[in-house]
Amino acid sequence: MKNSLAALGVVWDYIYGTFKIRRILLLTVALFSWVFTIPVLVALPGWARIDLIYIYVSIAYITGFFMYGAFKHPLKTIFASVFLGWRYKSREFTLEEYRTYGATEIVNSMGIKKRVRVYVTPNHWIEGPYTNATNNRVYIPLKWMQRFPRLDIRGVLGHEIGHIKTKGKFVRDLAAAIGGIGGMSFLLGTYSVSIITVTIFEFALAFLVLTVLSWRNEVRADLEGAKVTGPEGLISVFEQLRAEDHRDDPSETHPSLSGRISRLSLLLPMY
């Protein structure tokens, strides 16, 4: 009994962990919700439950996508980095570091007029570099600074500062997507009896759409960065991460490392 449960667990992990199958499952849920909804839509006059719909639509957006990522690695996520890591003080790059890692050069080459600050954080719950594009701050974990050579970090900085350069496009994509999903859910919710159906549909659609948008955003930042720093540094980092993880699945927010490497390889100079 215990063995077969374990075997089932392996199968489930495989299905769940294999990205494409997970997408298909979500898509199936989305389509299913339509199957249930359409007869209702046709058969019934719409009575509005507008206030209820507003409430659950907003909750669904805010929680769905981000909570999913948080549950996936329950410890090493936003929660751990905030609640267990709040004591760690980050320090800003020194003038010397701004110069030797090419941060200043990247910002200038991208034509970014605002001041971009780069910080090193010793918070070990944070798994990788990230950028707050609202205040133009880039954070690199201390363990990355210690581990990767200078030109690799320069490539990483190109990617992160690329997020600052392309944030307008991401916001525009996001607004269109949320408007689209919201509008569709609103119509469905207004003309259907089943709030549950609409919620399922909405969650599934939001997962899919936000994943696609997030991937586009990452690819854009890869390319913007590589235009300035050359693709070698980022490729090198991705190859090292891929070698140590022994797996190469895309995530909800990032495309697969292999996909990113092959896209960046197109920018390698031909000799």
Residues that bind Zn ion (CB under 5 A): 218, 221
At its nearest, how many Å lie between Zn ion and the CB of residue 223? 12
**Of 30 and 103, CB closest to Zn ion:** 103
Cα 226 from Cα 73, distance rounded (Å): 29
SS3 45: coil
Per-position DSSP letters for 205-256, written without gaps between them: HHHHHHHHHHHHHHHHHHHHHHHHH-SHHHHHHHHHHHHHHS-----SSS--
Cβ atoms 121, 90 nearer than 8 A: yes
At its nearest, how many Å lie between Zn ion and the CB of residue 159? 6
Cα 55 from Cα 60, distance rounded (Å): 9
At its nearest, how many Å lie between Zn ion and the CB of residue 229? 14
At its nearest, how many Å lie between Zn ion and the CB of residue 218? 5
**Of 53 and 257, CB closest to Zn ion:** 257
* Length reported for the chain: 271
**Of 218 and 232, CB closest to Zn ion:** 218
Cα 243 from Cα 159, distance rounded (Å): 20
At its nearest, how many Å lie between Zn ion and the CB of residue 187? 34
**Of 164 and 200, CB closest to Zn ion:** 164
DSSP classification of residue 119: E
**Of 107 and 221, CB closest to Zn ion:** 221
At its nearest, how many Å lie between Zn ion and the CB of residue 13? 27
**Of 126 and 198, CB closest to Zn ion:** 126
At its nearest, how many Å lie between Zn ion and the CB of residue 3? 42
Task: Give the 3-state secondary structure of 142-169.
Answer: HHHHHHCCHHHHHHHHHHHHHHHHCHHH
CA angle in degrees (0–180, nearest 5) for 217-219-224: 95
**Of 57 and 140, CB closest to Zn ion:** 140
Cα 245 from Cα 201, distance rounded (Å): 33
Spatial strand order of the sheet with 117-121 comes to 91-92, 117-121, 137-141, 130-132
Nearest of 14, 13, 29 to residue 207 by alpha carbon: 29
